[in-house]
Structure 1
Amino acid sequence: MSLITFCIRFALAAYVVALLALYFMQDRMLLPASAEVARSLTGHHAAYDVEPWKANGEYAGYLVTPAATPRGTFMVFHGNAETAENKLPLAEIFVHDGYRVVVVEYPGQGNRQGKRTMLAALAASREALGAARAQWTGQLYLVGESLGAGMAAQAIEGNENNVAGVTLITPWDSLASVASTKYPIFPVRWMLHDPFDSIAALARYNGPLVVVGAQQDMLIPIVHAQRLAGTHAGAHLMLLPDANHEDWFGAMNDTHWHQVLRWMQAD
């Protein structure tokens, strides 16, 4: 065997191994375990209370309730490598405006039991929306960050009339689009268990849509947020010029949040 033939065979074998690794390990890559064991937030916190929330009889996240009668319901879907416990500061934004907030947890994350896969997280997100709709009347709004933006968008599909407004923060247009950019030598569009196409999921949704993009985002480049907003009639795009994927929350001030709520028609 010549050296050239050996190198070609070695390269092909390495490519196939990498291909198989990407296919079978995509859930671990997209949904890594949280860095530490999540601590329960249950209890009284100044002007609101936090308690475990259940969907169909099983723990599914937290319910954050203001002291006054809630104006409606916000549902928050967190990003990867996070847990519901990380999202209390975001929940506070909406609680202080008079809304109850459900912080959704995915199976295998935080204090929720189950298999940690993208498809399980998707099923749990859809189940959570249905459970919230059944539990409370009034306006229901969704807020998703990063991976959670993808989950929120997918949960809307088929439930368009049940959602009064949605905000997607540092989102993808589709997971396949992001993955194909990061791994151009692999046929990732065929390898993903689900393309998680947010554009397609929102195609029949006619309610208020706010897209918040971080212009320094290297994980999900801003072009994906721009494409998502640009393909949906009436979408509002808010750009954070100095923020990246991890610090967008610190870049949001009261003026930003008031604008988001106005665009969502939830002010």
Structure 2
Amino acid sequence: MPLLAFCIRLALVAYVIALIALYFMQDRMLLPATLYDAEPPTGHHAGYDVEPWHANGHYAGYVATPAVDQPRGTFIVYHGNAESAENKLPLAEVFLRAGYRVVLAEYPGHGKREGSRTMKAALNASRDALAAAREQWNGRVFLAGESLGAGMAAQVIRGNESTVAGVVLITPWDTLASVAAETLWIFPVRWMLHDPFDSIAALAHYASPVVVIGAQEDTLIPVAHARALASAHPGAHPMLLTDANHDDWFDAMTGERWQQVLLWLGAG
């Protein structure tokens, strides 16, 4: 019995230490360092130009401008974790081909942007990107976010419902808390998160088009979360990629599928 009691106490101590570590290290877990450094995509490309973009006087990503007399509006792209703005040029090209200017938003501590790599800083930067884009250019503004970026895009809409013309959320969560609870089920993560990043609640008063793209084989954010998000928002347009996972969804997006997304958004 003394040995059993000792083992139980040891397990409890280890559990409490793990709880404390998870609480204070959650930003590092949610926002790991960029997996690889990519070269800045600045310069002239076929049909568009890319240059560094600034918000509030600070580097905040890139802006890609199509070779047209007048862009039809602006898309702001929010990338996922372990990525940087440099990685999102292929996604930007979808909207550039449709005649839109594209902002590749960067979070502090990612890519070439200095600052603290925290969820709070990333969210503040995401909101600043919308405010800066609206200040710099006229026309409609759409948001597009992938994974973590989908969570950021949803939160940016809260309080800005009337200024965002539409949003596409790719491999999203419904709430960060629900995803974390599945992964770390042994811990009370719903009470430990600094912010539950509830995308359902963030979109509750949003009346403009919402497109939700889920990947059937997604093991990082299981597709059930994309389904839950789409189901919770009246009028949302779900698109299921049956043979795609969290990392290769873009390869599954054909030209016809992108055209459908743009039509749903009213941006086609």
TM-score range, shorter chain: over 0.9
Deviations 1:162-191 (A, max 9, x none): 000100000000100111111111110111
Distance 2:37 2:257 in 1: 32
Task: Tell me the equivalent position of 2:158.
Answer: 157
> Partner letter of residue 229 of structure 2?
L
Report the secondary structure of 2:196's partner residue: coil
The letter of the residue matching 1:209 is: V
The answer to whether structure 1 residue 132 and structure 2 residue 133 are counterparts is: yes
Q: CA deviation at 1:38?
A: 3.7
In structure 2, C-alpha distance between the alignment counterparts of 1:119 and 1:180, rounded to whole Å: 20
Partner of 2:4: 4
1:50 is matched with which residue? 50
- 1:210-225 matches, within 5 Å, as 210-225=211-226
**C-alpha distance in 2 between matches for 1:216 and 1:25:** 28
The one-character-per-residue Cα deviations of 1:101-143 (angstroms, maximum 9, x if unpaired) are 0000000000001000011000100111111111111111000
Deviates more, 1:38-47 or 1:189-198: 38-47
SS of 1:132's equivalent? Answer: helix
Within the alignment, does 1:181 sit opposite 2:182 as a pair? yes
Q: Structure 1 stretches of 5 or more lacking a match?
A: none
Once the two structures are superposed, what CA deviation does each residue of 1:48-70 show, in whole Å capped at 9, x if it has no partner?
00000111110000000001020
**Range that drifts further, 130-139 or 48-57:** 130-139
Mapped to 1, the partners of 2:37 and 2:104 lie a distance apart of 17
Contact 1:38 1:111 survives alignment (8 Å):
no
Kindly state the Cα deviation for residue 229 of structure 1 after the two structures are TM-superposed: 0.3
SS at match of 1:237: strand
Shift of 1:21: 1.4
**In structure 1, how many angstroms separate the alpha carbons of the residues matched to 2:149 and 2:253?**
18
Q: Secondary structure at the match of 1:25?
A: helix
Shift of 1:156: 0.6
| Code of the aligned partner of 2:252 | A
Share of identical aligned residues, percent?
Answer: 69
Aligned to 1:79: 80
Normalised TM-score (structure 1): 0.99
In structure 1, the residue matched to 2:253 is 252
Q: What is residue 93 of structure 1 aligned with on the other side?
A: 94
TM-score by length of 2: 0.98
CA RMSD, 1 decimal: 0.8
What corresponds to 2:103 in structure 1?
102
After TM superposition, give the deviation of residue 37 of structure 1 in Å: 3.0
Residue 25 of structure 1 and its aligned partner are, at CA, apart by: 1.1
1:243 correspondence with 2:244: yes
Deviation at 1:14, TM superposition (A): 1.0
Q: Does the 8 A contact of 1:63 with 1:100 survive in 2?
A: yes
* Equivalent residue, structure 2, for 1:202: 203
Distance 1:78 1:54 in 2: 17
Q: Post-superposition shift, 1:204?
A: 0.7
- Secondary structure in structure 2 of the residue aligned to 1:54: strand
Displacement of 1:35: 2.1
